[in-house]
Amino acid sequence: MHLEPNAYRELHWHQEGEWSLILNGSVRVSAVNEAGQTFADDLQAGDVWFFPPGVPHSIQAFGDGVEFLLIFDNGEFSEDDTFLVSELFQRNPKSVLAKDLRVDVSAFDNIPDSQLYIFPGTPAPANISAQNSTGPGGVIPREHTYSYHFSQQKPYEVPGGSVKILDSTSFPAAVDFAVALFTIQPGAMRELHWHTVSDEWDYFISGQGRVTVYSAPSSSRTFDFQAGDTGYVPVVTAHYLENTGDTDLVYLEVLQSSAYNDVSVAQWLGLTPRQVVKDHLGFSEDTLDRLPQIKPFILPGDKNLLQTNFTAENE
């Protein structure tokens, strides 16, 4: 979703949980929960928010505008089912609204006659405290806050790229959302792996890549992706993701799980008794010696995708 400078995404709520990654720009978000506790935060590219089902919230872009990815925890979600404050006021008698807000019905003479959805607004004050509207309920406790400054998390760097992982252990509000943001260098690949408890949804932010998915008993299929594409891999289905371009491949892995997890094929074999692996796959002693006991996550490679010998890097 894209908001022009100072524009609002109308005050709204959903039946589903809303998770978002800011792709570029900056934004102010706010919310009020069922206990009357308030939340407000300023976020930038790379940061994340999550609003639980039913929690009403607002989103306003700053002067540079904002673009963000929205992910919902229900595959049947439709944006058309979003609950909007403008429609709430349209669908109730003005006499009821007046009674509810303790005003005269004339207070509603200027309410919009159709949904706003996205609309221009006045610039938000630079100092977020100027919009402080905290009531007796106070603010939402930090451990349950609806935002996470993912942009400030230090990535785990390995040969071939890096990864940043975020799940409910570090962002408790986002129940059953676990993500990994991968940066794969040209020629490198996200190692062969699968996930044990969730399907995997992918969003490709930049670059291009290739994935082969293996499914039992005897089928596989290869897909090519580029920036803006989405991918899907069923739970426990083995796959890799290779950077086939000349620039970094950046993509988001999303799991519906409280904790991010995967099974690394290389680590699995490296931690399995050597004779068992040799009997199954006929590996030489040299190949067995090269199997890792630590999960690689990413494996380096050459831009020349015709390369087939990778033994030199460990010698």
Active-site residue list = 253
3-state secondary structure of 96: helix
- For 231: left if phi > 0, alpha if psi spans -120 to 50, otherwise beta; the answer is beta
Dist CA 188 CA 18 (whole Å)? 32
Which amino acid makes up residue 170?
S
Which amino acid makes up residue 256?
Q
3-state secondary structure of 97: helix
Token duo for residue 179: 């993500």
Listed in order, strand segments (DSSP E) in 154-291 are 156-158, 161-166, 178-184, 189-194, 200-206, 208-215, 219-226, 230-233, 238-243, 249-255, 263-264
Dist CA 254 CA 204 (whole Å)? 11
Residue 170 CA, chain-centre distance (Å), reads 14
